[in-house]
Copies of this chain bind each other. A is one copy, B any other.
Amino acid sequence: MCQLLGMNCATPTDITFSFSGFAERGGGTDHHGDGWGIGFFEDRACRLFIDHQPAAHSPLAQMLKHYPIHSRNVIAHIRKATFGDTRLENCHPFLRELWGRHWLFAHNGHLENYAPALTGMYQPVGSTDSELAFCALLEGLRNRFGTHTPSIEDVFDALAELAPPVCAHGTFNFLLSNGQALFVYATTRLQYVVREWPFGKARLVDTEMDIDFSRHTKPGDRVAVIATEPLTCDEDWTALACGELVCFRNGEPVLRRLTLSAEQQAGVRARAITAADL
């Protein structure tokens, strides 16, 4: 299974601490050695770094651990290939433009018999089910709103309708951002923690590293970190429910909705247990 990491903040923040632990999972403490990627938004545009080398040994990942890039929305991914081989074009996060903004998407899970009818407006560059789902979500958004930019609330409502049909094909945990908000959807495993004033200390699970956030922060700062599994061993992480969609803005969850019925949730769990990616 792949690992996801997201960050949404009230003020531009660097993700060096969380990324250091997360990168260890790519070929270090875990077996997700089939490439990785991270994208940092700066307003409407993002910097995207992708590499098909394991994150634990990548020179690019080494540089990023020591080069603090400040951002309010970050999405990172470490890949364990299920569908699609280890090629650059299959590394998440995937990037597209919609309504004059970059959009980033990373997915964890495995979709079976997933072949949405697309017009070709967005076409996958690689061979992953994940990028196909991203293209389908963007085409779905475009079909609803045309070339007119909707509000974040309208995007949230649309995603709450577009995501559930995909869950019928398998595990569909994803992070999606346009630089204004971070949309998080879970069917099996995603957890988050909100760090705010007064900030405390935290210790990484994956590597020998502690940080005292109170030494690096001011009262207005607030940071939400979202990950497949908790990155720290001494903070309270909250698990998303099966089929839950959450919109993070300014470092906190501002919209949340359960999009699957009890019956649909049972179906998702049954598929997840048998899927190769758990």
Report A's interface with B, CB cutoff 8 A: 42-51, 59-60, 63, 67, 87-89, 95-97, 99-102, 119-126, 146-147
Whether A97 contacts B125 in the complex (CB less than 8 A), given A50-B47, A67-B60, comes out as: yes
Residue of B67, B89, B146 touching A44 (CB-CB under 8 A): B89
Q: A37 to nearest B CB, angstroms?
A: 10
Point out the residues of chain B lying under 8 angstroms from A147, CB to CB: 119-120, 123
Whether A125 contacts B67 in the complex (CB less than 8 A), given A96-B97, A97-B96, A147-B119, comes out as: no
Contact status A100-B123, CB under 8 Å: yes
Point out the residues of chain B lying under 8 angstroms from A121, CB to CB: 121
C-alpha spacing A46/B88, complex, angstroms = 8
Point out the residues of chain B lying under 8 angstroms from A46, CB to CB: 88
C-alpha spacing A101/B119, complex, angstroms = 16
Contact status A100-B87, CB under 8 Å: no
Point out the residues of chain B lying under 8 angstroms from A120, CB to CB: 146-147
| A118: nearest chain-B partner, CB-CB | B147
Residue of B49, B50, B87, B123 touching A43 (CB-CB under 8 A): B87
Q: A14 to nearest B CB, angstroms?
A: 13
Point out the residues of chain B lying under 8 angstroms from A49, CB to CB: 47, 49
Contact status B119-A45, CB under 8 Å: no
Contact status B125-A102, CB under 8 Å: yes
Which among A59, A95, A97 has the highest number of chain B CB atoms within 10 Å? A97
Contact status B100-A125, CB under 8 Å: yes
C-alpha spacing A9/B125, complex, angstroms = 22
C-alpha spacing A101/B89, complex, angstroms = 9
Q: A224 to nearest B CB, angstroms?
A: 22
